[in-house]
Structure 1
């Protein structure tokens, strides 16, 4: 016996969204299929949060892109374990040491930090490809922006990028970070832009490009185009954050 009607009027709408709509009922509860889907999504979200990032695999993926930026540098936060990272957000905002950056060239225009954040799965699935799109778009920007060596940050919160950006002496830091998993998406990346990064920057001084996880979310190239537009706008305005708006779509408005 099926737990759903033969004709499901919600089916066409459900194919257009990852939201949980029109779940149906079986007696006083949900249909078995929907309960199992929920449990599977919950397990995927937990795994995305708790599983450590495979740094060696990510570095190999980046090397395969042939970006000519040097091998990514690995920086760790002060959170020693994944459990401590989740219990102590403050430790994830501060690097255990910046010594790995000691030999890196300083003074580039933009640094890109690949941070595991709250979804190591998102970084493993999309990090290298998004980095490739960002590097290509930044290099093609007017003036040819100079890029620092990529940095992989583990047990990392967003503010750790401020320390990295200051250490590298860059004008702008882009932190690509795994976003908090939900019950619809467990592999989404965000890109956070901060002009003149330094410890103590407030979140209101950053710009965010969220929901990067093709094919269902924002695509790599589209996210990169928005990032380049924001980088140019921040440098022109002299500020990032709430004073800076995305103008990447202006050319589409007739």
Structure 2
């Protein structure tokens, strides 16, 4: 019987020539190797990122925590849910996440009946595919954006917190509350380096049956992505142009020039 020589791999970590590029990206590059395997540290980091992404999808939204952080804004908060009333159904039936439950629909109608107003803007915060993204980013965004709406003298509807939500869930909310402009904040599908990414979908005169071509999207709003201040600037630019043209979506181009380049250095830490 012929014996093969035992291969002995080096035990030291082999550096990668792309190491200096890691400062410019969160992508998994230049991980190095030990013999034929990944070093322990990047291997564990990958497992942690995978667990964080799963947790972002499966974690229930902390509604009371959101309400607590929004108390600094003098505006009512309403809570609604979609027809996908548990996470398993939400993941299997995207269509149910686009429809208000009957109880939530009636709650909004009752509110309108007792408060017969029309609004320029309604802001909806929906858990989507990352409750963490909403918990980490939405309260601060809503506080800052609400102040900008007041400065523009826009009438703002009560804040709406939505669970089991897909993007289109905001359409019926805006229709019932009679708001011209819908700003839908939603947790985006988490990646392995972005479990906290929030998306913003803007729709002019949203109604049931709106399709995606009627919306404008601002994505990756988070501390490591697009800052809240820049996201608000882009959103206000779209909204002002939208009011002039009476439309949104593919016919509304984001031509707004940024006046600042800033990170959220004054952004407060989460209370919990």
Aligned residues: 245
Among residues 188, 201, 205, which one is paired with 1:192 in the alignment? 201
**SS in structure 1 of the partner of residue 149 of structure 2:** helix
- TM-score for the superposition, normalised by structure 1: 0.91
**SS in structure 2 of the partner of residue 4 of structure 1:** coil
1:210-243 deviation per Cα after TM superposition (whole angstroms, max 9, x unaligned):
00001x1111111111111111111111110011
Among residues 7, 17, 22, which one is paired with 2:25 in the alignment? 17
Task: Provide the rounded CA distance (Å) in 2 between the counterparts of 1:178 and 1:250.
Answer: 24
Query: Is residue 2:124 matched to residue 1:116?
Result: no
Among residues 142, 151, 154, which one is paired with 1:140 in the alignment? 151
How far apart are residue 208 of structure 1 and its match? 0.4
* C-alpha RMSD of matched pairs (Å): 1.7
How far apart are residue 3 of structure 1 and its match? 5.2
What are the residue-to-residue correspondences of 1:60-139 with 2, within 5 Å? 60-63=68-71, 65=72, 67-70=73-76, 72-96=77-101, 97-101=104-108, 102-104=110-112, 105=115, 106-139=117-150
What are the residue-to-residue correspondences of 1:151-170 with 2, within 5 Å? 151-170=160-179
Task: Provide the rounded CA distance (Å) in 1 between the counterparts of 2:252 and 2:198.
Answer: 21
**SS in structure 1 of the partner of residue 79 of structure 2:** strand
Gaps of 5+ in 2: 1-9, 261-272
Query: Is residue 2:41 matched to residue 1:33?
Result: yes
Q: Which protein has the larger Cα radius of gyration, Structure 1 or Structure 2? A: 2
**SS in structure 2 of the partner of residue 15 of structure 1:** helix
**SS in structure 1 of the partner of residue 179 of structure 2:** coil
Query: Is residue 2:64 matched to residue 1:56?
Result: yes
